[in-house]
């Protein structure tokens, strides 16, 4: 359960300021992202790895703990905001994506907190209009 909460925290914890151009395309961050959470304090394991998909600004869990739910959004400027829940536990994360990388912070209530990093793991494909 703590692992799932850390995932939720990761999803919500992307939050080191990386500046993207204000004119970024709304779908510029579409694709699959490999995300690593590092615990800096609390009861969670030291590291967690997950795969998240971004499509038209919405974030979805691709791989991670069974039962975990991710609800999040990525703005055109790369700003990320997420909530993750698993059972009665939930966490949040904030951060920013730019080009093929990203970073931020995450927190699972008073259980644990840390930082995350992300790297696009697939190439963005052109979308028909």
pTM value is: 0.74
What is the per-residue DSSP string for 33-75? EEEEEEEEEESS-SEEEEEEEEETTEEEEEESSTT-EEEEEE-
**Sequence spans of domains, the chain:** 2-120
Q: pLDDT digits over 53-90, tens only?
A: 999 999 999 987 677 788 899 999 999 999 888 778 78
Tens-binned pLDDT, residue by residue, of the chain (129 aa): 455 445 444 443 433 333 334 445 658 899 999 999 899 999 888 988 889 999 999 999 998 767 778 889 999 999 999 988 877 878 999 999 998 999 999 999 889 999 999 999 975 544 444
**Superfamily per CATH, domain 2-120:** Quinohemoprotein amine dehydrogenase alpha subunit, domain 2 (2.40.128.120)
49: closest CA among 67, 61, 31? 61
Environment class of 27 (CB within 10 Å of its CB; exposed 0-12, middle 13-18, buried 19+)? middle
Q: Taking a C-beta distance cutoff of 8 angstroms, is the pair 69, 83 a contact?
A: no
């Amino acid at each position: 359960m703590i692992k799932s909460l850390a995932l939720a925290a990761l999803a919500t914890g992307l939050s080191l300021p990386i500046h993207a151009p204000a004119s970024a395309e709304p779908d510029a961050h579409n694709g699959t992202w490999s995300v690593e959470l590092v615990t800096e304090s609390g009861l969670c394991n030291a590291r967690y790895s997950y795969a998240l998909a971004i499509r038209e600004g919405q974030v979805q869990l691709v791989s991670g703990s069974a039962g975990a739910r991710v609800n999040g959004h990525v703005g055109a400027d790369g700003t990320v905001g997420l909530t993750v829940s698993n059972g009665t536990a939930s966490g949040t994360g904030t951060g920013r994506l730019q080009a093929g990388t990203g970073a931020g912070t995450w927190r699972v209530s008073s259980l644990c907190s840390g930082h995350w990093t992300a790297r696009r793991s697939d190439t963005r494909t052109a979308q028909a209009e």
